[in-house]
Amino acid sequence: MAAAGFNLASAGQQERRRRRDQLVTVLRSYLIPRLGEPDAPLLVVVAGPTGSGKSTIVNSIAEGEVSRPGPLRPTTRQPVVWCHRRHAERYSRIGSVECKVVGDDHPLLEDLTIVDTPDIDSYVAEHRAMTVEILHHADVVVFLTSAQRYADAVPWEVLGGIDRRGSEILYVLNRLSRRASGAVSDYAALLRRHGLAAGPGDPAVIPVQEQRVRGEAAALPAKAVSRLTDALRDIARRRVDVMSDITSRAVAYCVDEAEAVAAGVLAQHEERLRLEAVVDRVYEDAFDELTSELDGGSLIRTEVIERWAERVGTGDVARWIKGSASWLKNVADRLSGQPAAEVGRIEREARRELADAVTVRLERAARAVGTAWEVDDAGRALLTPDLRAAGGDVSDDTEAVIDRWLASLAALVEAEGPRRLRAARVASTGVNAAAVATILAVFSATGGLTGAEFGVAAGAAAAQQGILEHVLGQAAARSLAGSARDSFLDAVRQVFSAEKGRYRRVLEAASDPPRLADDVRAAAEAVAVSSEEFHAL
């Protein structure tokens, strides 16, 4: 259950984390230790706001000084555990909180251990934290507040948590003056408004009248706290049943909350999928655009195509169309006459132009994801300057992918038409010339048109297709151009996937796998089963 990280900063995040934390706390701080030591006395924690008389009340129950009270705030700086002598060792620490232990042999302590705590509204944060932690371990809470301050000094959140997990809470209204007789029912109504169940017995709120503090022990007379003492004696008498009820309620709470945590895991997963879908759509659109530009002949600037075409000899097309075959010899001569470096340069230029065409689209896609995530809480929290732009290595990666494609293209040209290549005496120019022609055919988008259909007016584009067709034959030329196109798109898709992967990784790190929902439910089920076994003993 604790493994649910809920790192996706959506609107639901805080609530999911809060529920997970409460659930884990109930298991770790209450249920597991409690069921591990079923014979330990019930832990009764006296808590409340500053100066409400907690220490005085504990002393009054003990009829002696257990915890020093005082007008100076804060007086109680550490929990004081009043327990039976034979249990003294077990309480030097409760959870991670070090406690002062006062061993005694008061009959109440056979079944109960009573803890006086620092002020729950202390200005010392450490004191508040200690008290909250001790409260997590409580079987029974005595929540003490004074008649003067009850309206504004109740920590609803903390009490609500304890109430929900099923511990008993005794609400004590201290220092009541005889004149303020409506305070008890007013306080009870306030508690009910906040959804807090009435304590055991009647009345729900236990009143303690304002007294003069007497004696060295700084305690109230026993009679003043008799209703509270009676309630505690009753709980002590029913210790085994009370323990069983509280733990059963805690188990039921955990099972319910685990369901809520599991639902949170699934809801978070949905949110993650939505963000992922945005990324998929953006890159899908960018890829579709690139594909249609490729097929429409506008992926690479026309000037570049024409410059390349010039080198291979566009002017010869006219003669070819008129039936002269000498153009091919001219092309072959021109290419073979050129130093290898020249053909290499054409390739490099093609590579550069292509890499740019792809990179520009990836930059645009990254910005589009940035814009879309920006308007989503979770998305915005995940966006980094890196993610708002294409990956730092995207140019190099694209060039590498294109290099591999060009290499495979050379192999493809060899495989598709070596005989015709030889026959056409283009072999002397090497595969590169044919590869360059293929590149140009692909990027000048002659599509399925033949040179003749395209006509002289098509210029460079038709020339490339024409050369290829003449060299390889029409069918082979078309299939070669088609395979080259497809393998180019496959190669580009790899770069697109790698780019998308950056967002996927971030989303993966920020969200929990949906199977965790099942794990959480299974863990809750295991808790319920062990609890049933425990209660059957």
Ligand X SMILES: Nc1nc2c(ncn2[C@@H]2O[C@H](COP(=O)(O)OP(=O)(O)O)[C@@H](O)[C@H]2O)c(=O)[nH]1
Instruction: Provide the minimum distance between the beta carbon of 247 and ligand X in the complex, in angstroms, as a whole number.
Output: 29
Assess 213 for contact with ligand X (CB under 6 A).
yes
The residue whose two tokens read 């290595």 is 393
Percent of the chain that is helix, strand, coil (3-state, to 5): 65, 10, 25
Contact with Mg ion (CB under 5 A): which of 29, 60, 76, 398?
76
Task: Give the closest residue to 25 by CA, choosing from 192, 196, 172, 157.
Answer: 157
Residue 28 is classified by DSSP as I
Question: Which lies closer to Mg ion via its Cβ, residue 75 or residue 148?
Answer: 75
Which of 55, 113 has the CB closer to Mg ion?
Answer: 55
Given Mg ion, ligand X, none, residue 218, with its beta carbon under 5 to 8 Å by kind, binds: ligand X
Whether the upstream peptide bond of residue 38 has omega within 30° of 0, thus cis, is no
Tokens of 519: 């794990």
Q: Which residues, 6 or more positions from 365, have their beta carbon under 8 angstroms from its beta carbon?
A: 282, 283, 285, 286, 390, 496, 499
Q: Are 514 and 269 in contact (CB under 8 A)?
A: yes
Quick check: 117 binds ligand X (CB under 6 A)?
no
Q: Is 95 helix (H, G, I), strand (E, B) or coil?
A: coil
Euclidean distance between CA atoms 268 and 270, whole angstroms: 5
Could you say which residues in the range 175-204 bind ligand X, by CB under 6 A? Answer: 175
Q: Which is nearer to ligand X, 54 or 269 (CB)?
A: 54
Binding segment toward ligand X, per CB under 6 A, in 52-60, 151-159, 469-477, 480-488 = 52-60
> Does 219 contact ligand X by CB under 6 A?
no
Q: Which of 75, 226, 395, 494 binds ligand X (CB under 6 A)?
A: 75
Residues 305-344, one symbol each (x = binds ligand X by CB under 6 A, - = not), give: ----------------------------------------
Size of site (CB under 5 A) for Mg ion:
4
Sign of CA dihedral 375, 379, 380, 383: negative
Of residues 285 through 304, those in contact with ligand X by CB under 6 A are none
Helix (H, G, I), strand (E, B), or coil: what is residue 53? coil
Interface residue with Mg ion among 10, 50, 55, 314 (CB under 5 A) is 55
Q: Which of 36, 37, 39, 71 binds ligand X (CB under 6 A)?
A: 71
Find the helix packing angle between 239-296 and 226-237, rounded to 10°: 80
54 near ligand X (CB under 6 A): yes
Which part of the chain contacts ligand X (CB under 6 A), choosing from 94-102, 210-218, 328-336, 436-444? 210-218
Residue 210 in contact with ligand X, rule: CB under 6 A: yes
User: What is the Cα–Cα distance from 350 to 76, expressed in whole angstroms?
Assistant: 80
Q: Which stretch binds ligand X (CB under 6 A): 66-74, 233-241, 326-334, 527-535?
A: 66-74
Q: If phi over 0 gives left and psi between -120 and 50 gives alpha, with beta otherwise, what is residue 168?
A: beta
Helices and strands: H and E segment counts in the chain: 21, 9
Pick from ligand X, Mg ion, none: which does 302 bind, CB < 5 to 8 A by kind?
Answer: none
Q: How far is the CB of 62 from ligand X (least distance, A)?
A: 13
Q: Could you list the residues that contact Mg ion (CB under 5 A)?
A: 54-55, 75-76
Q: Could you list the residues that contact ligand X (CB under 6 A)?
A: 50-56, 69-71, 75-76, 119, 175, 210-213, 218, 220
